[in-house]
């Protein structure tokens, strides 16, 4: 193997925020996974089913918004309103579905958005649009017979993500749209949802609407709009699976088995503002990696890494940047399996 260790998330037990340090992910040997499976004694099947449904529906909402964005005039692509609508709508859908599907479980969601700005007078038009999108999305899943959510219902669902988390109990962690710049460009983004239990990531789902179902080894392969839309999911100790967003049969995936660094490829952030590309290049050179980096927005990188498209993910945030728990929790468990 290129390497045999995945750095686990180092969490602040009070805020569930990762400690800001360089992030390196390498392929995990299968024998280490076997040890992890042997230690698993708790099932999260109900939570996993709810998480998959929530992330897939949120992805449908985001796809509708992005499609409208890309069909609009060029100037509107510099307006962050579309991604804001999708961010709020995605969070409302995920929150609503999780609470509806898991009514007997205590609910705690640590998420990126809250409703403060949406409650302002000038945001009423946006709130109306978000509410319409949320109801359309829920109806598309056969919930047409339910009473439509009101604007206040949507605001409450968004604010369900205001939990502060903590080191005990179960807490969901959500990034409703990871990769906002990719979303605005019509490129890669992800809905990233994870479950923490007693401070450890035990379950994760990544919905990647624009990621090709086939392996990607260069940025050019990411541009194709044919056969795209992946849903990755993992439940600690059981491995990682991938299916298309339309609900096709799941396939178990594995990280790269590449042993020769010269044959390995590596992923890094598309935006240079998110990671020091020069440093990543130096490290890749030291490792003997010859292939150019594959730069991908969002946690879609983790999905691609989990199925062996590349062997290494290098991320070195610039000084002063602090990672958030929702930036990596789902991606981490998808790779670690």
**Secondary structure class of 201 (helix, strand, coil):** strand
175 is in an annotated binding site: yes
> Would residue 159 show up in a list of annotated catalytic residues for this protein?
no
Q: What is the tens place of the pLDDT at every residue in 231-277?
A: 999 999 899 999 999 888 899 999 999 888 888 887 877 665 555 66
pTM confidence score: 0.84
Q: Which residues of 152-171 are buried (b: 16+ CB within 10 A; e: fewer)?
A: ebbbebbbbbebebbeeebb
Domain made up of 3-336: CATH architecture: 2-Layer Sandwich (3.30)
**What single-letter DSSP state applies at residue 10?**
-
271 is in an annotated binding site: no
- Counting residues of the chain whose pLDDT is more than 70, the rounded percentage is 79
What are the residues whose beta carbons fall under 8 Å from the beta carbon of 77, sequence distance 6 or more? 69, 70, 184, 185
pLDDT at residue number 275: 56
- List beta partners, residue 314: 24
| 56-77 mean pLDDT | 79
Q: Is the pLDDT of residue 89 over 90?
A: yes
User: Any idea where the domains of the chain sit in the sequence?
Assistant: 3-336
Low-confidence winner among 18-22, 40-44, 72-76, 175-179 (lowest mean pLDDT) = 18-22
Q: How far apart are CA 79 and CA 99, in angstroms?
A: 32
246 is in an annotated binding site: no
- For residue 97, how far is the Cα from the chain centroid? 17
Catalytic residue among 84, 131, 137, 180: 180
Contact yes or no for 12/325 (Cβ under 8 A): no
112 is in an annotated binding site: yes
Q: Got the DSSP string for 23-82?
A: EEEE---HHHHHHHHHT-----HHHHHHHHHHHHHHHHHHHHHHHHHHHS-GGGGG-SHH
Catalytic residue among 87, 159, 187, 297: 87
- For the record, the structure tokens of 246 come out as 């339309």
> Would residue 240 show up in a list of annotated catalytic residues for this protein?
no
pLDDT at residue number 70: 79
Strands 190-197 and 200-212: antiparallel
């Amino acid at each position: 193997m290129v390497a045999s260790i995945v750095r686990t998330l180092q969490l602040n037990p009070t805020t569930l925020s990762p400690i800001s340090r360089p992030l390196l992910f390498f392929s995990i040997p299968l024998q280490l996974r076997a040890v992890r499976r042997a230690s698993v004694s708790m099932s999260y099947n109900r939570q996993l089913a709810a998480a998959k449904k929530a992330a897939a529906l949120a992805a449908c909402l985001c796809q509708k918004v992005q499609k409208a964005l890309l069909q609009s005039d060029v100037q509107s692509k510099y307006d962050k309103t579309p991604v804001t609508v999708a961010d709020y709508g995605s969070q409302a859908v995920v929150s609503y579905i999780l609470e509806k599907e898991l009514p007997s479980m205590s609910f705690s969601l640590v998420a990126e958005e809250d409703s403060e700005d949406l409650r302002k007078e000038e945001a009423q038009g946006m709130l109306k649009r978000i509410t319409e999108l949320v109801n359309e999305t829920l109806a598309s899943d056969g919930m047409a017979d339910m009473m439509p959510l009101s604007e206040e219902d949507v605001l409450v669902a968004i604010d369900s993500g205001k939990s502060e988390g903590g080191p005990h109990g179960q807490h969901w962690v959500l990034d409703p749209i990871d990769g906002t710049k990719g979303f605005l460009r019509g490129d890669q983004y992800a809905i990233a949802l994870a479950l923490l239990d007693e401070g450890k990531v035990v379950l994760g789902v990544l919905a990647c609407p624009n990621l090709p179902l086939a392996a990607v080894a260069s940025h050019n392969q990411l541009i194709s709009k044919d056969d795209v839309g992946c849903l990755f999911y993992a439940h600690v100790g059981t491995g990682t699976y991938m299916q298309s967003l339309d609900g096709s049969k799941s396939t178990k995936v594995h990280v790269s088995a590449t042993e020769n660094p010269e044959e390995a490829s590596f992923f890094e952030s598309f935006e240079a503002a998110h990671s020091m590309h020069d440093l990543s290049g130096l490290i890749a050179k030291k490792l003997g990696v010859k292939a150019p980096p594959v730069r991908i927005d969002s946690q879609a990188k983790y999905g691609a890494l989990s199925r062996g498209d590349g062997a290494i993910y290098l991320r070195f945030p610039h000084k002063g940047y602090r990672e958030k728990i929702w930036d990596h929790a789902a991606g981490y468990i998808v790779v670690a399996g």
